[in-house]
Structure 1
Amino acid sequence: MDDSAAPGTGPAPEALFAERYRLLGQLGRGGMGVVHEAEDTRLGRRVAVKILTAVAGLAEDREGRERFLREAQALARIDHPGVVTLYDAGVVRGTPYLVMQVFEGLSLADLVTRTGPLPTPVVAQIALDVVRGLAAAHEAGVLHRDVKPSNIGINRDGHVILHDFGLARLAGERAITRTGELVGTPQFMAPEAIKGVTPSPAADLYGLGTCMYLMLTGELPFGDGTVDYGAIVERALGDGVPRLNGRLLTPPAELLDLVDRLCAQDPADRPARTAETEALLQRQTEDGRETLAALLAGQLRDDAIRALVPPPDLADDIEEEPEYDWDEAVPHPRAERADPLHPPTLSDATRRIVLSSMTPQNALSRQREAVNLVLRGELQEAAQMLAVVVPVCLSSLGPAHPTTLTSQYWQAVCLARLGAGDKAVELLARINRHTDRRRGSEP
């Protein structure tokens, strides 16, 4: 397939990527490529389109192109709730792409950053879900090759979804050939993978072990070495991940021992039987799912509350068109931290998506998109979209304009459904006051 748009930059507004997907904006960017939120114009649903710019040039590489398509077909065969669903794959102008479900929730990286170390049942539940997802992939002949916190998503129900299966092999080989650089995150990369040895399922289990280390301690396995990758590699290949058994007192010793074994430098020393690992984790997951769901609900509720613009105590002071500092409210893409634990989050990216094309003229259209998200139950995305629509309406149309009030109403609906009922009531009261004023001014 081909189109007139350069991969990674997005097509013109009227063009379709791969003759099917209308790219709406960028969700994130990494070493392998760029991810766009998109509309599947054939099926009328939101999707994520990952364009693998690090692997450009497959038009001239028949073997690489066929390998990519084979790996995509293998990924599509994985039928497991803990593995991201692949809808489509192909190559446009020599650059491969994948089309996947849009994830609603937080990454494990974001959760640990916000909360610190997680309770033992939560750690065990997340690890158990990851083990089961990896087992399903391994049975289908697919290695993940890049198990790390930012590739572990957690939805509002407390269920784990693994992302970016198998991409490290394709993008890594070609990128290393072109640039001579290590592709991956050495904080969570198995020593044999760092050395260039062909990884096995044991490498994925090592990644799980380092993620469990982070969840239990709140610390990166090799310290905060985001700039000096060489120091991290040296530690990974030297003393390895510090042992936990005997260091931490609260978690059960058998769980700490499992982490130590998963992080063993020699793949042969890591647990070989998935069933045994599952059984051990299962014993530690009492109420883990419920606790995890409550943690996620609290974080998403707080996100929705923080997104309220303007603050409640300032709402009634707006008489004229207020100024709104977009640079303060929305981080600039170039200002993102080069931190393996903090890739662009879905919520921040969604704000940028809306902001990049938001004008007073299309605020109503964006409002309708947000309402559709609410009706489909995609509350996190709707709340973030409305967090940009509302201030645009306030500054351009005024606090009493019908479009402003309607946008705020749906913002209140999101708040209520995300568990922030008190804030929703405050916002609805503010809407009612402006509605009453409008009625009182009508002849």
Structure 2
Amino acid sequence: MTRGELVDGRYRLVGLLGRGGMGEVHEAEDTQLGRRVAVKLLTAVGGMAPDGEEVDRFRREARAMARIEHPGVVTLYDSGLHRGVAYLVMQILDGRNLAHLVGSTGQLPVRAVCWIAVSMAEALSAAHRSGVVHRDIKPSNVSLTRDGRVVLHDFGLARLAGERAITATGVVLGSPQFMAPETMKGGLADAAADLYGLGACMYFMLTGESPLGPAVDVGAVVERALGSGIPPLSSRTPGAPPELIDLVDRLCAQDPARRPRGAAEVVEALGPLFGGGQEVVAGRLATLLRDQAVRTARGVRLKKGPEYAWDEAAVPLPRAGDAPPSVAPLVPGAGPPTLSDNTRRMVIGSMSRETALSRQREAVNLVQRGELEAAARMLAAVVPVCVARLGPEHPTTLTSQYWQAVCLARLDAGREALELLARVNKYVDRRKGAGSD
């Protein structure tokens, strides 16, 4: 699928956000409602006939997913078939996934772990009551929003696409670090398998390490999962509350019969431990997002001296044949966005004055909607284009820098925002002085 393509006559693809074993995730515009959405194309199981049995099953499973009404489950807006490929349309979230948070900041405090685990368990409980099993609980499928909420996504992909179709394409769902042993052995993934994944995620949060050790050799990880299993948590975090250690060890038991009877039991057990956890998650995430926004804004290379100018020698313009750039927003499950020097030079070479202005307007709309990360990334690409093409004193350049400062300020990077505003004001004052002569 290519940028600009219209999926099923409604969803215009804006940019590729990621690829996985099941297919691709794109940012898209819902042309009917005028909103940003994520479109997941299950390309691994394409070639479905519009009136075939596989499509009927896909529609039944999509309807089952849509019946899960819980704030901890990503909202499914729509589903359908495009050129024989099944697709799902979902909301875009404004945070990071659990894998990225722990990978970037290390093990989490007990209150934060318990808050995330309770939220996951409540979402799983709602799904299980609706007859939907997740089957792929892992940190990258757990999104954390800027206010500290927890949202699960990628529910029931195996049943959506059909186990037979997945087997035929050789796709393996799930990570052996978080996959229940009975599922590895070919058994049916049920609610107990989801609880195992929850326990493994808790282990990961509390230790900051993969439950079964480094995943250098997947075969070795599978051997450990089916052999000695996940080590007792007490050997890795002796300072954790005993009741928490006991619960995690029970959730990670190889025998499903030893695990809690259901997700509701997990919620009850963790009730006394998660007070204030949402605020801890929101605070840690805010710090992470602020630091990344500052790094993104500072990624523009500046020449030494008082003048703000794009250093084209440091980042040369693109050569013929370079792929077009993609500055992607957040989507459930997507990793942290980056804007490399290669991407920046491609942006500069491919963006005209008109498209820079259009992207600036898009960024301003994102700021006004509170989607600050996507706006900050877009402006980090637009600002050097404006400097290089229009000059540092052009109104479009100054406006882009102003909104970049607004993003930083709203992400609590006040000092950096003031520095940028001072630079903007210097040029504004210079323009005023020139106009009065």
Whether TM exceeds 0.5 here: the answer is yes
The 2-side partners of 1:358 and 1:25 are apart by 15
**Aligned partners of 1:321 and 1:398 also within 8 Å:** no
* One of 406, 413, 437 as aligned partner of 2:406: 413
Q: Could you say what secondary structure the match of 1:240 adopts? A: coil
Q: Which moved more, 1:53-62 or 1:186-195?
A: 53-62
Q: CA RMSD in A?
A: 2.7
TM superposition shift of 1:306: 0.6
Give TM-score, length-normalised by structure 1.
Answer: 0.88
Identify the residue that residue 62 of structure 1 maps to in structure 2: 52
Give yes or no for the alignment of 1:121 onto 2:111.
Answer: yes
Q: Which moved more, 1:149-158 or 1:249-258?
A: 249-258
Identify the residue that residue 83 of structure 1 maps to in structure 2: 73
**Aligned partners of 2:46 and 2:84 also within 8 Å:** yes
The 1-side partners of 2:143 and 2:363 are apart by 23
**Structure 2 counterparts to residues 17-36 of structure 1, below 5 A:** 17-36=7-26
**Aligned partners of 1:27 and 1:350 also within 8 Å:** no
**Aligned partners of 1:104 and 1:155 also within 8 Å:** yes
TM superposition shift of 1:350: 12
The 2-side partners of 1:386 and 1:272 are apart by 49
TM superposition shift of 1:355: 4.4
Give yes or no for the alignment of 1:150 onto 2:143.
Answer: no
* One of 411, 431, 440 as aligned partner of 2:433: 440
Q: Which moved more, 1:350-359 or 1:33-42?
A: 350-359
Aligned residue identity for 1:283: P
Q: Which moved more, 1:274-283 or 1:173-182?
A: 173-182
* Residues 198-238 of structure 1 deviation map (CA, whole Å, 9 limit, x = unaligned): 11101111111111111011110112224x22111111111
Gaps of at least 5 residues in structure 1 are: 1-8, 334-341
* Residues 122-153 of structure 1 deviation map (CA, whole Å, 9 limit, x = unaligned): 00000000000111111111111111000000
- Return closer, same or farther for 1:357/1:370 CA change in 2, 3 Å cut-off: farther
The 2-side partners of 1:22 and 1:155 are apart by 25
Give yes or no for the alignment of 1:218 onto 2:215.
Answer: no
**Aligned partners of 1:56 and 1:96 also within 8 Å:** yes
Gaps of at least 5 residues in structure 2 are: 324-331
TM superposition shift of 1:193: 1.2
Give TM-score, length-normalised by structure 2.
Answer: 0.90
Identify the residue that residue 327 of structure 2 maps to in structure 1: none
- Return closer, same or farther for 1:206/1:216 CA change in 2, 3 Å cut-off: same
* One of 353, 359, 377 as aligned partner of 2:351: 359
* Residues 48-84 of structure 1 deviation map (CA, whole Å, 9 limit, x = unaligned): 0000101112217822211111111111111111000
Identify the residue that residue 47 of structure 1 maps to in structure 2: 37
Aligned residue identity for 1:265: Q
Identify the residue that residue 329 of structure 2 maps to in structure 1: none
Q: Could you say what secondary structure the match of 1:307 adopts? A: helix
Aligned length: 421
- Return closer, same or farther for 1:86/1:319 CA change in 2, 3 Å cut-off: closer
Q: Which moved more, 1:307-316 or 1:202-211?
A: 307-316
TM superposition shift of 1:173: 2.5
Q: Which moved more, 1:268-277 or 1:120-129?
A: 268-277
- Return closer, same or farther for 1:320/1:114 CA change in 2, 3 Å cut-off: closer
* Residues 373-393 of structure 1 deviation map (CA, whole Å, 9 limit, x = unaligned): 111111111111111111222
**Aligned partners of 1:28 and 1:349 also within 8 Å:** no
**Aligned partners of 2:302 and 2:311 also within 8 Å:** no
Identify the residue that residue 291 of structure 1 maps to in structure 2: 280
Q: Could you say what secondary structure the match of 2:18 adopts? A: strand
**Structure 2 counterparts to residues 182-193 of structure 1, below 5 A:** 182-193=172-183
TM superposition shift of 1:325: 3.0
- Return closer, same or farther for 1:315/1:117 CA change in 2, 3 Å cut-off: farther
Q: Could you say what secondary structure the match of 1:143 adopts? A: coil
Give yes or no for the alignment of 1:173 onto 2:166.
Answer: no
Q: Which moved more, 1:161-170 or 1:241-250?
A: 241-250
Identify the residue that residue 196 of structure 1 maps to in structure 2: 186
* Residues 265-322 of structure 1 deviation map (CA, whole Å, 9 limit, x = unaligned): 1111110043331122121112111111110111111111111143689573445764
Identify the residue that residue 233 of structure 2 maps to in structure 1: 244
- Return closer, same or farther for 1:322/1:433 CA change in 2, 3 Å cut-off: farther
**Aligned partners of 2:301 and 2:311 also within 8 Å:** no
- Return closer, same or farther for 1:220/1:172 CA change in 2, 3 Å cut-off: farther
Give yes or no for the alignment of 1:266 onto 2:259.
Answer: no
Q: Which moved more, 1:351-360 or 1:121-130?
A: 351-360
Q: Which moved more, 1:78-87 or 1:358-367?
A: 358-367
- Return closer, same or farther for 1:312/1:60 CA change in 2, 3 Å cut-off: closer
Aligned residue identity for 1:359: M
Identify the residue that residue 6 of structure 1 maps to in structure 2: none
The 2-side partners of 1:279 and 1:314 are apart by 59
* Residues 297-354 of structure 1 deviation map (CA, whole Å, 9 limit, x = unaligned): 1111111111114368957344576446389xxxx99xxxxxxxx9752533899799
Identify the residue that residue 205 of structure 1 maps to in structure 2: 195
Identify the residue that residue 304 of structure 1 maps to in structure 2: 293
Aligned residue identity for 1:274: A
The 2-side partners of 1:398 and 1:173 are apart by 57
The 2-side partners of 1:326 and 1:77 are apart by 51
**Aligned partners of 1:117 and 1:218 also within 8 Å:** yes
- Return closer, same or farther for 1:293/1:66 CA change in 2, 3 Å cut-off: same
TM superposition shift of 1:87: 0.3
The 2-side partners of 1:46 and 1:278 are apart by 33
The 2-side partners of 1:188 and 1:315 are apart by 52
Give yes or no for the alignment of 1:10 onto 2:7.
Answer: no
**Structure 2 counterparts to residues 131-142 of structure 1, below 5 A:** 131-142=121-132
Give yes or no for the alignment of 1:372 onto 2:328.
Answer: no
- Identity, % of aligned positions: 57
Identify the residue that residue 384 of structure 1 maps to in structure 2: 377
